A and B are shown apart, each in its own frame.
Chain A
C-alpha cells in the first residue's frame, strides 16, 4: 500500500510537470486556434538560454544581431510619419527596444547570476514569441489549421537548430537551488518518500496556474484574450486588437515554456531530450481537451499517475519501457469514448 501510494504521488507530481508544458499548448490554442507543436522547442530554447547565459553570457554574434534588428525597428518607430490612423513617432516603443538592444550588448561574454539570466531569458522568450506571431503566423492567416500545425513543426525544427547553434549541444546541469531528495519530515510521519523537488515543482505550477487564471479573469487583456478565443470576428468587431492579443499569447507561452524549461532542465539536465517532453504533453492535451486549462491540469495528473502505475505494475509483464507509449494508448482509448476530451468543447459540424 505504502509503495502504491509512493508511486501514485510520484506519478501525480510528475504529471504536474507535464501539465506545465501542456499549459503552453492550451494558451495558444485557446487564443489563436493554432496547435503549437513548437512548445517543446520553446521549452528547450528557454532552458538552454538560461544555462548558457549563466555559463558564458550572450554570444557576441547573436547579441549583436538582436541589437541591430531592435535598433532598426526602434528607428523606424521614431521616424514613422503621421498617417491617417494616429501614427507619428512612437517614443515609448523606441525607448523599450533601444533599452533591450543596449542591454543585449552589455551582457556579451559575461556569465550572469541565475536570476539575471532568467530575466534576460524571459525577455528573449517574449521576443521569440512576438517574432513568431509576426513572421510565422501572420502570413498564414486563413490557412487551414493543419497547415498552421505543420508550420509549427517547421518552427520547432528552426528553434531547435537555433538553440544549439547559439549554445552548443552539450548536456548541461542546471541548479535552481531546490534539492531533489525525499522530505525527511514526511518520511518520518507517514513513511512515504516524496521528493522536495517534485513538491516545489507542483507548488510553482499551482502558482503559475493561479496567476494565469487571475490574469484571464480579472485583467482587461485577459478578458480580451477570452473574447478572442470565443470568436475572432466578434472580438475584432468590438475593437479588440487581434494581432496584439496574439503577440501577447505567444509571449505568455514563451513565459510558461521558460518555467517548464527551468523545472525540467533542473530535473533531467538541459539537453536535446527536453524537446521530447512536449511529446509527453500531447496525450495530456487530448485527454484534457485542447481548449481547457483545467483539462491540462487534470489530464496531466491522470497521465502522470497512470503512466507511473503502469510502468510499475504492468511494465514487468511485457519487459518494461512502456512509459514511452502508454500515455498515448490511455489517451486513445479515452478518445474513443469521448472524442473531445475531458473538458473540451463539443463541436457540431454544419454542412
Chain B
C-alpha cells in the first residue's frame, strides 16, 4: 500500500535513468542519510561511534571494493587486506614525506597507490582464472605484508613496522573526537558508495558483469578484456586502499603490517558472501553483520551459558565465533547465495503487493 509505484510516470529519459527510480526509495534513502548525518552523531555514545560505527563504515568500504572485483567482475580475490595495507602505508608516507600534502589528498593518493599495486597483481588475471587466480591473489597478500615489514622505509624506520598516524586536519580544522571522525568517514563512504552504485550500472559495470558471466563470450562481443579486468582490479583496489587509509587514520591510529593479515581478507570476503555478492547494499549489510556479531556473541554467550548451567572455558567464545561464522557461511551459500541483500529485495517485492496480493 505504501510502497507502490503506481502513478509515478516517467516522462523523460533522465527520469527513467535516475539512480533511485521509485519515489519511496528516494524518500527512504534521504531519510536514512539524514539519520546517519544528523541524528546518529547526537544520539550514539562515544563507544558506539568508536567501536562499531566507524569500523562498520570502513569495512563497508573495503567490502564494497571487494564486491566490485568479485561480485561484479567475477574475479575472486583473497588479497583484500594486502591492498588495504598499501593504502594505509602509502597515505602515511605521503603525509609524512610531503610537507604541504592535505590529508584528504594523501588518502586519495594512498588509494591510487593501492590501485597501481592492484593492477600489477591483476595482470595474471589476463591469463588465469578461477581458483588459479584466487591463489595468485594470495601472493599479493603475503608479498605486501612481507615487504611492508621488511623494508623499514615504509614505516619510517620504526621497529617491527608499526606506524602511528598523525592528526587528521582539513583546512585547519582538526578532526579529533569520534563524532567528527565518524562524520568525515561517513561523508567519504557515502560519496564513494554513490560513485560505485553509478559505476556498476554504467557501461563499465555492464562490461564487468559480462566478463563475470562468461568472459569468452564477453570478448567475442567486443569487450576489451584487458581494459575491463584491470579496471576492475584498479577500482576495487582503490576502494580497498582508501578503506585501509581510513582504517589507519580514523579507526586504529597505530597499525602494523601484520594487522592486515589473511584473516582480515577472509573477514571481508565473508562480509560480501553474507551481505550479498554483486550488490552495493550487500556490502553494508554484510559489514554490519560481521562487525556486530562477535560483539553480541561476546556480550551474550557467557550469560546464556550460565543460564543453561554450563561454564564456558576461557577462549571458548572465540572458538564458538569461528564455528558459528563457518557454519553461517555454509548456510548462506546453501540457502541464500545472494545473501542478506537478496532477502531485502524479496521483502521489497512482498511489500509492493501488500496487503492485497493481486
Contact = CB atoms under 8 A, between A and B. Distances in A.
Bound pair: A and B?
A: yes
Interface stretch (B176-184, B234-242, B244-252, B319-327): B319-327
A331 B337 contact: no
Given A143-B337, A319-B151, A290 B131 contact: yes
Contacts of A335: 124, 127-128, 132, 136
Contacts of A160: 322, 326
B266 A153 contact: yes
Nearest to B313: A168
A150 B333 contact: yes
A161 B326 contact: yes
A154 B335 CA distance: 14
Contact of A161 (B131, B262, B321, B333): B321
A32 to B, nearest CB: 13
B142 A325 contact: yes
B328 interface: yes
B325 A157 contact: yes
Nearest to A279: B138
A321 B335 CA distance: 43
Contact of B135 (A140, A155, A286): A286
B142 A321 contact: no
B142 A35 contact: no
Chain B: interface size category: 35 or more
Nearest to A140: B334
Nearest to B273: A150
A153 B151 contact: no
A117 interface: no
Chain A: interface size category: 35 or more
Chain B contact residues: helix, strand, loop or mixed: helix
Interface string B327-342: 1111001110100000
B322 A151 contact: no
Contacts of B131: 35, 145, 149, 290
B259 interface: no
A336 interface: yes
A164 B127 CA distance: 40
Contacts of A164: 315, 319, 322
Interface of A: 35, 135-136, 139-140, 143, 145-147, 149-151, 153-162, 164-165, 168-169, 279, 282-283, 285-286, 290, 318-322, 324-325, 328-329, 331-332, 335-336, 339, 341, 349, 351
23 contacts: A35-B131, A136-B330, A139-B335, A140-B334, A143-B333, A145-B130, A147-B333, A149-B131, A154-B328, A157-B323, A168-B313, A169-B315, A319-B151, A320-B150, A324-B142, A324-B146, A328-B138, A332-B124, A332-B139, A335-B128, A336-B124, A339-B127, A339-B128
Given A136-B330, A157-B322, 17 more contacts: A146-B130, A150-B333, A157-B266, A157-B325, A158-B327, A158-B330, A160-B326, A161-B324, A165-B319, A165-B323, A169-B319, A286-B132, A325-B142, A328-B138, A332-B139, A336-B124, A336-B127
